[in-house]
């Protein structure tokens, strides 16, 4: 083994350790920022470790430099300009980019290391063993599904892509099974002819399968889809690692794939949905017109009580315990900083403030945690559903900000509800509930929310940021925040 090889393996080992530490750190809000930096450093070292082993021409270095510059600039601009409300779509797109990268690596190996045609013995000259050939098939298959599925998920979240009516029928199963069988046959044939027609048949069938599987899935299941696509991107990366012989890529892909799969299971449990029902059971919350959530019929409510910001502020003035329930409406209004300002006023008044976090609140796992962390909300105040539910009976005021299905009590009491069995935040047990929404529109599941008609619930209609700003103003007029905190 040469000195260059030893150095490369040492760099890879350090990169693997840094990546493991980075993934572990992402589980905590406090350490997430530095953990992300560690993971980025690990990937940078991985690139360095790979390049020092290669005997590259000046032209190759030029292509690498140009690609790195373009990709780095695109990532920088995206990170700076994408608002928090569009973060789920961005994550979906990044998952797709990971899948496409693995796909291109596998295709490149199949094409160029075989000289553009099958080798005499039916195997790749640069990847002669069966494991490498199977890895190419897996990388192409999973990478193509990840890319096309992620693009569809992003389009559905943005409201660009409708859910066609035929995808809600049994026809979609026949189409998807046909595509899956085609991809399987192409994968088997690819082993004998790596650079021929089977390769392109596998790419095409897998890409269409990703579209066919993701297109019927509705908005309520999008958090599960995003975490599952994240897992797919890790699997594709691990397969690409076998293709190019990169131990680091194998380890990194396996860790991402496992983490994504675990998170997917957590999301399914939080929604009382099985992964099979999400992928094959139809679209919870999907409509033929295509938009995911946020709309719905406003009719059917008969016992709605509404109030002004002034009345809500009067209740907050005397509250000893206040719980905020953030939802996607908070993100849309970009009201997290105003919410933090309101919370500080209440804390100065002696109130105990916390934030109830449902696992699938928002449009991706951890959406609300990231949103509130951006506003410097102490991570100790972010309380998960299982821990906060027993505390609601002793809570004076709950303010629901743009959340809907995750606080619907029908999930506990109505067996006919599509949400029945889904664990929800039991805000209906609190003494008083204020729901801040623009209208009575339905959530992702497209059904009424029984919480809105309870006697202890009052609707505060309006944009979340405007309502919260109004509450801050009213509380200041009442002198809240100027009083010494209760002992």
CA 287, 290, 292 angle in degrees (round to 5)? Answer: 75
Can you state the angle between helices 367-374 and 87-112, rounded to 10 degrees?
Answer: 120
398 forms bridges with which residues in the sheet? 323, 433
**Residue 258: how many CA atoms within 13 Å on its side-chain side?**
10
CA 282, 285, 290 angle in degrees (round to 5)? Answer: 90
Q: Are 52 and 12 in contact (CB under 8 A)?
A: no
Tokens linked to 354:
């916390």
**Residue 64: how many CA atoms within 13 Å on its side-chain side?**
11
List of residues 6+ apart from 244 with CB closer than 8 A: 105, 109
DSSP code, position 217? -
Q: How far is CA 429 from CA 166, 448, 458, in A?
A: 41, 19, 14
Neighbours of 465 (CB within 10 A): 20
Determine which one of 12, 405, 410, 428 is catalytic. Answer: 405
Catalytic residue flag (residue 405): yes
CA distance 470 to 75: 37
Q: Kindly list the strands in the beta sheet with 352-357, ordered across the sheet, starting from the edge strand earlier in the chain.
A: 382-384, 352-357, 321-326, 397-401, 432-437, 457-461
CA distance 405 to 409: 9
Residues forming the active site: 405
């Amino acid at each position: 083994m040469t000195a260059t090889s030893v150095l490369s393996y040492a760099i890879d080992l350090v990169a693997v350790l840094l990546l493991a530490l980075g993934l572990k750190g992402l589980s905590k809000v406090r350490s997430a920022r530095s953990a992300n930096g560690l993971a980025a450093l690990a990937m940078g070292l991985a690139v360095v470790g790979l390049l020092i082993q290669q005997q590259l021409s000046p032209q190759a270095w030029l292509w690498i430099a140009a690609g790195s510059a373009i990709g780095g600039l695109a990532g920088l601009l995206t990170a700076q300009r994408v608002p928090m409300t569009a973060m789920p779509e961005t994550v979906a797109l990044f998952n797709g980019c990971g899948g496409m990268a693995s796909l291109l690596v596998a295709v490149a190996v199949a094409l160029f290391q075989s000289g553009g045609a099958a080798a005499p013995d039916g195997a790749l000259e640069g990847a002669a063993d069966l494991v490498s050939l199977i890895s190419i098939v897996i990388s192409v298959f999973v990478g193509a599904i990840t890319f096309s599925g992620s693009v569809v998920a992003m389009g559905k979240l943005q409201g660009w892509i409708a859910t066609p009516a035929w995808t809600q029928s049994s026809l979609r199963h026949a189409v998807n099974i046909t595509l899956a069988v085609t991809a399987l046959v192409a994968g088997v044939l690819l082993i004998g002819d790596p650079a021929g027609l089977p390769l392109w048949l596998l790419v095409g069938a897998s890409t269409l399968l990703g579209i066919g599987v993701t297109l019927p899935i509705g908005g309520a299941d999008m958090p599960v889809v995003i975490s599952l696509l994240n897992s797919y991107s890790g699997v594709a990366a691990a397969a690409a690692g076998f293709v190019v012989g990169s131990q680091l890529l194998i380890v990194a892909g396996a860790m991402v794939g496992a983490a994504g799969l675990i998170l997917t299971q957590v999301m399914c449990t939080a929604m009382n949905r099985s992964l099979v029902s999400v992928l094959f059971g139809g679209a919870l919350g999907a409509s033929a017109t295509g938009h995911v959530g946020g709309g719905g019929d406003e009719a059917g409510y008969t016992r709605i009580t509404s109030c002004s910001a002034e009345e809500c502020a009067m209740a907050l003035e005397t509250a000893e315990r206040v719980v905020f329930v953030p939802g996607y409406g908070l993100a849309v209004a970009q009201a997290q900083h105003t919410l933090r300002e309101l919370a500080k006023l209440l804390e100065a008044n002696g109130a105990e403030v916390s934030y109830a976090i449902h696992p699938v609140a928002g449009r991706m796992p951890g959406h609300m945690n990231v949103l509130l962390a951006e506003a410097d909300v102490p991570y100790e105040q972010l309380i998960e559903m299982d821990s906060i539910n027993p505390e609601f009976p002793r809570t004076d005021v709950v303010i629901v900000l743009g959340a809907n299905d995750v606080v619907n009590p029908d999930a506990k009491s109505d067996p006919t509800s599509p949400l029945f069995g889904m664990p929800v935040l039991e805000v209906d047990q609190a003494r008083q509930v204020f729901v801040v929404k623009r209208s009575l529109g339905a959530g992702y599941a497209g059904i009424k929310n029984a919480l809105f008609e309870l006697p202890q619930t009052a609707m505060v209609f309006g944009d979340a940021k405007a309502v919260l700003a109004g509450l801050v103003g009213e509380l200041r007029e009442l002198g809240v925040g100027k009083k010494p905190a209760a002992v």
